[in-house]
Amino acid sequence: MNQRWRQILLWGLPITVALLLALQFLGSGALSNLKPGGPTEAPRNTAVARMSYGRFLDYVEAGRVTSVDIYDGGRDAVVEAVDPDLDNRVQRLRVDLPGLAPELINTLKTEGISFDVHPPKTAPPALGILGNLLFPLLLIGSLIFLARRGNNMPGGPGQAMQFGKTKARFAMEAETGVMFDDVAGVNEAKQDLEEVVTFLKQPEKFTSVGAQIPKGVLLVGPPGTGKTLLAKAIAGEAGVPFFSLSGSEFVEMFVGVGASRVRDLFKRAKENSPCLIFIDEIDAVGRQRGAGIGGGNDEREQTLNQLLTEMDGFEGNSGIIIIAATNRPDVLDSALMRPGRFDRQVTVDAPDIKGRLSILKVHSRNKKLAEDLSLESIARRTPGFTGADLANLLNEAAILTARRRKETISLAEIDDAVDRIIAGLEGHPLTDGRSKRLIAYHEVGHALVGSLVKDHDPVQKVTLIPRGQAQGLTWFSPDEEQMLVSRSQLKARIMGALGGRAAEDVVFGYAEVTTGAGGDIQMVASIARQMVTRYGMSGLGQMSTDGGSQEVFLGRDLMTRSDTSEGTSKQIDEQVRGIVMQCYEETLSLVQGQREAMDRLVELLIEKETMDGDEFREVLANYTTIPEKDRFSPVLS
């Protein structure tokens, strides 16, 4: 129910009820006593006593009644009678009559008693007709008002009769303010989409060699990688009519509305051909058919069927290019993904270090950066960040700069912004000496193992300042350029994660280990199980028993059974346990051999609360030899 209907019900119904009650009150004749012509009911404040009908007849026969006023159609009367018990004084009494019977009138005439009949007065007929027609007229008038408002204001809240019309935003030349130069870090995707724009502007360049532009382009990638931004850039570059809407805008609670909106969308697109249609989050309407429970003829499937027909049906749609975006391509219907509908799938993935550098250059155009701040260092500091994450990073750094009353953004604000985005808000430093020392040994254990294991990523920072749910943190700078991870690197990650628990075990004893390693142990179990079930890095051999990491989709995976036998599952658990226990024994031995260095690092960390990687390695080098890390450093241009 839209805002207009709520306002009508809020104000119209109380007013209508009040008017009907007022008309009923008028029709009852309660106010007619004020009109000329006498009262219409017995005066209730003048009769002080009541008399039964039988006694009234006895008074009439005895000649004690002097006058009678009959009201309410013969059901009520006020009698003036002489009461012998009160020295023959005249008394006004109220009598309930059985009705205006002819016998009573004849008796009163025979006895010579003065009587008067007061007929009831009714409301005028016009008021009764008006009261009966008031509510229907109000309802019809409201509907007419809503229909006229919907016709005069397209897209407004009064479009009560426009359910079947498309809600797509239309622009002859979309002025999004975004061009391809504003999109960075996704060069491969830009190249594919630039071909679409070139075809719209110069179609003869392709048709001369018999090429046909894809009818549909599907942008696939994690959230925040720039899919919608690319669509805005296409709209800004193309210079042709542009329709944009979300997949959820097709489906409504009314049956058939989604299919009607699809037909109306493509009808308008054909009238403005050549044009572009952008459907964001298409998985809202394009999910696999037959995935529901209780039948497949639901509203969403009807909408999808109509969309499939319009995209590549009997009639065809020449000159209409559809661009859609989703981060769940695994749930889309196979008929929607085939060539002829979405001919080309463009993967928009998280950028590499060069892509992050170009994205930072775009988002830092209006930022005041310090002269010694290098965008390359920020790009190296943020592996795995998407374009949206990098934009948020620079914005958070700018907010911190303004809060600290600085003129330019420095590396300190960038580091604090990264820590805040990844780990959460900074908390108050620990004051409990015992807890602070225990957390210090835990974090130094992580950093110590990470520094001494050759295949582990180098330490970037160790801190005792709480952030989010963590009481202390150890940061590593991973080498993201290495796309393939070896078995030794996975074992190094397991050992680095177990370094905190090993340090607690060595220093405080197994009976005093804490729950601080809960998250580390979960990560260790996940890595070890993937080594066994997915990567074939165990005694089970080169076999995979993992069904993949895709999310469960109702209707496709609900009844999927496991192909792993009970005996194989037992062997998998034994292999996982063996990998974890072997890594923990090696980690425990490594920490025990560096007890003196660990004690010194803990004292320094408690004193400073934060140590960067270079300082940590400089102190550790006084006690042992640190293996040289094999790092790949690409040349940025």
Shortest CA distance to 368 belongs to which of 409, 414, 417, 413? 409
Q: Which residue type sits at 588?
A: L
- 8 A C-beta contact, residue 636 and residue 353: yes
Extract the tokens encoding 636. Answer: 């940025």
Separation CA 572–CA 565 (nearest Å): 11
38: left (phi over 0), alpha (psi -120 to 50) or beta: left
DSSP state of 136: H
Compute how many other C-beta atoms are within 10 angstroms of the C-beta atom of residue 631.
11
Q: How far is CA 450 from CA 50, 227, 445, 606, 626, in A?
A: 106, 37, 8, 20, 10
Q: How far is CA 620 from CA 302, 363, 436, 454, 502, in A?
A: 67, 39, 21, 15, 18
DSSP state of 635: P
DSSP state of 551: P
Shortest CA distance to 332 belongs to which of 321, 340, 324? 324
Catalytic residue among 443, 480, 512, 574: 443
Q: Which residue type sits at 137?
A: L
Separation CA 586–CA 441 (nearest Å): 18
Q: Which residues of 287-305 are buried (b: 16+ CB within 10 A; e: fewer)?
A: bbbebeeeeeeebbbbbbb
Separation CA 294–CA 439 (nearest Å): 54
DSSP reduced 3-state for 456: coil
Q: Which residue type sits at 560?
A: T
- 8 A C-beta contact, residue 494 and residue 583: yes
Shortest CA distance to 130 belongs to which of 51, 22, 2? 22
Q: Which is it for the CA torsion 433, 436, 438, 440, positive or negative? A: negative
CB under 8 Å to 240, separation ≥6 — which residues?
173, 200, 274, 275, 276
Q: Active site includes 609? A: no
* Cα 242 off chain centre by: 26
Separation CA 447–CA 462 (nearest Å): 7
φ, ψ for residue 227 (rounded to 5)? Answer: -65, -50
- Return the CA Rg of the chain: 43
* Cα 517 off chain centre by: 33
Q: Which residue type sits at 165?
A: K
Measured distance between the N- and C-terminal CA atoms of the chain, rounded to whole angstroms: 56
Q: Which residues pair with 472 in a beta bridge?
A: none
| Element containing residue 174 per DSSP (H, E) | none
Separation CA 588–CA 449 (nearest Å): 10
Longest dimension (CA), the chain: 139
DSSP reduced 3-state for 467: strand
Extract the tokens encoding 553. Answer: 């989709």
Separation CA 117–CA 69 (nearest Å): 6
Shortest CA distance to 456 belongs to which of 627, 297, 597, 611? 627
Catalytic residues: 443
